[in-house]
Amino acid sequence: MSMHSRLRSVQKSLKGREVALLWLKTSQSRGGYLEYWERGEFHTWVSENEEAALLYYLVVEVNGGVISTVDNWRALTSWASLLGISMIDAKRQSRPVQFETVQDFSDRWRKKLRTLHADVFALEQAVELISEGYFDRHEVLFSDAREQLTSARESAELLIAGYNCFAEDNGKESISLDSDDVRPSRSVEQRLNEWVMLARTKALAAQGRVFEARNEALRWLTREKP
């Protein structure tokens, strides 16, 4: 009997939540999130139990959301890294840094980095809350998604350290990692609500409850935004 067949036989005796957690732990042990999709596995239990389906699609939304968000941040981190290198080069050659093109350049750079750090922190918090609230504190991220999120935080901290060196040398205000007065571009609550809404609509659709799924999405789209 294959691993998939043995897992399927065990799943038949479990409740919806137990099935989803067993699937998650088993899938994580076999590789990363992208590898999981490359295998192209199909699970009939997703359409058989609403709670199991909700947890399954939460895993999909959270992992997919982390990977796509970190990918979007790469352009900013690459730009900031190149900027830092140019600053170091100018310092080595004893050339003053000039900002003729953008008068408030350093302030904009500082705001971008503060927002990036706040975004990374908010994303990490949202992931942890999903793990605590829906998966009994079990890690919801696959290994590759977790590595990318950790790498994003480390990159943001290194970029801020580089900026602070520049700020010290040029009499500019530095960035404190302990500051909590910066609002992320998307709050923890916004990320949580969107992930749960998307997972719930997909779970309802998988159960054949298409109109309920539509209504769930409409409530999200027409909600009163803060």
Q: Where are the domains of the chain?
A: 14-23+44-221
- CA-atom Rg of the chain in angstroms: 22
pTM for this one? 0.82
Q: How far apart are CA 166 and CA 178, in angstroms?
A: 19
Tell me the average pLDDT of the chain: 82
Cβ-defined contacts of 189-192 (< 8 Å, 24+): 191/65, 191/122, 191/123, 191/126, 192/126, 192/129, 192/130
pLDDT recorded at residue 1: 46
Q: pLDDT band at 220, cuts 50/70/90?
A: confident
Give the distance, in angstroms, between the CA of residue 163 and the centroid of all CA atoms in the same chain: 24
Tell me how crowded residue 117 is: count the other CB atoms within 10 A of its CB: 21
The CA–CA distances, whole Å, from 60 to 56, 115, 141, 206 equal: 7, 26, 9, 14
Q: How far apart are CA 23 and CA 138, in angstroms?
A: 12
pLDDT tens across 1-39, in order?
454 555 555 555 457 788 899 999 999 999 999 999 888
- pLDDT higher than 60, residue 168: yes
Which of 96-105, 128-137, 182-191 is the least confident region?
Answer: 96-105
pLDDT recorded at residue 101: 47
- pLDDT higher than 70, residue 85: no
pLDDT tens across 147-165, in order?
999 999 998 898 888 888 8
